Amino acid sequence: MTAPGDSPLSRRRLLQALSVGGIASLAGCGLFTESEPPSDSSPAPTPTAAPSAATSGGPADIPFDRTVNLVDDLGASTDGSEPINSVLSDALERGTRIVVPGGTYALDGPIDVSNRRVGFVGDGDAVFRLPEGFTGKFLRVNDVDAFLFRGIDVDMRGDCRGGMQVRCPTKFHIEDVEYVGRGGLTGQAFNLGVTQPRGTGRLVNVRVPHGGHPDRYDSPNGTPGNGRIGVWAGLEHEGTLRVEQCEFSEFGNNGMYTSRNLGKVQVLDSHFENNNVSSIRLSGKGSYAQGCTVTIDFRRYNGPALTDTEQGFNPRAIMIDGANATEGVPRQKPGAEIRNCAIRLKHIPQGSVVQSAIEQNPAARSLRVRDTLIEIDLERTPAVRRARPGSGPIAWRPRRDVPPKPHWTRLENVTVTGTASKGSAIELNGADGSELVACQVKQPAGARNGVSLSGCENVAVDKGNYVTGGYPFVIESLPEGGCSLQIRNPPQLTPKGSESESGSVHQLGPVESGDTCAVTRELLEGTGSSTVRITGIRDGNVFGTTGN
């Protein structure tokens, strides 16, 4: 849908990679090449033709009573010379499918849909062009069920801050859409919600490669957290939102901010690049990211200069939130997951810091990550971080009470690589009951540690391989009377030069197969130390140091 050269990651190429080899092919097929920054010079939109309207009326469960051709029946201009709002106003009756032939159609304001079973279906290279400086939603669908928007691109050029607002009780379907041009400083590209628990809304093959200004978390007037969002799903969302084979990149306030609701959000086979705050933000039970790629590499960015990276600039890949945004609203149930994803944090503007690749923030409950590759080249940035539950109030969000348990992080077959030489690959704080199963940490540079645990009880390690420049495991703030670290089946530990940095290496205790408690507070009695550092497991014993 974009002209050649507009982006090295075209939707066609993304979909081909996903269909041929899934996420594994994405990780090595050149989609992450450092020498190909995406172009920001958006040409006139030239979308790929959608399937014929005769065969693409939409999902079978959205039946239409009549079909109206925007040009043949309504007399709309295909060259963008006359706005189409007036000709549409009387045509959007209940059960109407509007066929939009190839062409450019100018809008002079919002399109309001107030009847159920209404659809817009492109038949050719169809484009809706927003007016210069447009702000707000160009399409507003509120409390109207069974809505379809398919095969129509949106021309955002001209300092536009427009987007779609679609809130349906049980179903909507948005497919084959590209936003051409760079979004503005505020607003949302998509404001979505399925308002009944059993409903489902789908976003399929939607591409917004230049979402906005990735350094602008705040609005132009300084309002915190009012920068532009890719996909927003707020408290109105109680059903299931599925985002499939999409791209959302270069947003200043989350690529997908979809955590503050009681519904489910499922993100599949999609790509995200250089989004501030997070690319995917989820909450709890029934929500997951699967088969997605997330890249943070600002060498590939060639949009407007980044001038505001000191305030609110923290481009994490995936955040688990779990917060309820309003007093009196129940929290989401625990159970968010990340599956089969590839995450790369490669380069950020000088002087910036990224908190983590995968972040369980203080309001989050549990998280399971499995079969996922995380590459970290950024210093002091963990691949996975569990923030201490309830910690860290911020001025514009003072409510940071401790969320109900569980607070664990469970990593299964997770691989962490990259050149980072400081900090820890995995950092868990107050994450009682966490598990690390068959994980591979391969960060041998400098003093990079493997896993840091603080204030955790009953964290279990089962097999795996930890090759680190620093210590494979660092445990501090050990709980009174409890077990900090259990060894089920001993992992392979290979520190590269830290064994004599602090204290002397000695035997800490025996380890056997099963839930053997390897580290307790008793190890520190009489040492004056507050930290245990594990250097190896051999001959049935755990070795390490107890220096501060």
Burial of 369 (0-12, 13-18, 19+ CB in 10 A): buried
- Express each pLDDT in 215-240 by its tens digit: 998 777 777 778 999 999 999 999 99
Q: d(Cα 321, Cα 343) in Å, to the nearest integer?
A: 18
468 beta partners: 443, 495
How many CB atoms sit inside 10 A of residue 20's CB? 11
- Express each pLDDT in 111-154 by its tens digit: 999 999 999 999 999 999 999 999 999 999 999 999 999 999 99
- 503 — pLDDT class (breaks 50, 70, 90): low
Nearest to residue 227, comparing CAs of 157, 276, 160, 289?
276
Q: d(Cα 391, Cα 359) in Å, to the nearest integer?
A: 14
Residue 26: φ, ψ to 5° = -65, -40
- 393 — pLDDT class (breaks 50, 70, 90): low
Amino acid 49: pLDDT: 39
Nearest to residue 464, comparing CAs of 494, 437, 425, 434?
437
Nearest to residue 531, comparing CAs of 468, 484, 466?
484
Q: d(Cα 138, Cα 152) in Å, to the nearest integer?
A: 13
Q: Is the model more confident about 140 or about 43?
A: 140
Q: d(Cα 498, Cα 159) in Å, to the nearest integer?
A: 53
For the residues 385-405, what does the mean pLDDT come to? 78
Residue 315 has pLDDT above 60, yes or no: yes
Amino acid 396: pLDDT: 54
- Average pLDDT of the chain is 87
For the residues 290-302, what does the mean pLDDT come to? 98
Q: How do beta strands 316-320 and 358-360 pair?
A: parallel
Amino acid 7: pLDDT: 38
Lowest mean pLDDT among 221-225, 245-249, 410-414: 221-225
- Express each pLDDT in 426-457 by its tens digit: 999 999 999 999 999 999 999 999 999 999 99
- 296 — pLDDT class (breaks 50, 70, 90): very high
Amino acid 298: pLDDT: 98
Cα angle 504, 508, 514; round to 5: 150
- 476 — pLDDT class (breaks 50, 70, 90): very high
Amino acid 327: pLDDT: 64
Amino acid 330: pLDDT: 79
Q: d(Cα 355, Cα 362) in Å, to the nearest integer?
A: 13
Cβ-proximal residues to 236 (8 Å cutoff; 6+ apart), any chain: 167, 193, 195, 261
How do the domains of the chain map onto residue ranges? Answer: 77-546
Lowest mean pLDDT among 158-167, 257-266, 523-532: 523-532
Amino acid 59: pLDDT: 66
CATH top-level class of 77-546: mainly beta
Q: DSSP secondary structure string, 29-43?
A: TTTT-TT-PPP----
Query: What pTM was estimated for this model as a whole?
Result: 0.90
- Express each pLDDT in 176-198 by its tens digit: 999 999 999 999 999 999 999 99
% of the chain at pLDDT higher than 70: 84
Q: d(Cα 415, Cα 464) in Å, to the nearest integer?
A: 10
- Express each pLDDT in 44-97 by its tens digit: 444 333 333 333 444 668 999 999 999 999 999 999 999 999 999 889 999 999
Amino acid 52: pLDDT: 39
Which residue, chain included where needed, has tokens 């609005």? Answer: 219
Residue 258 has pLDDT above 50, yes or no: yes
For the residues 311-318, what does the mean pLDDT come to? 92
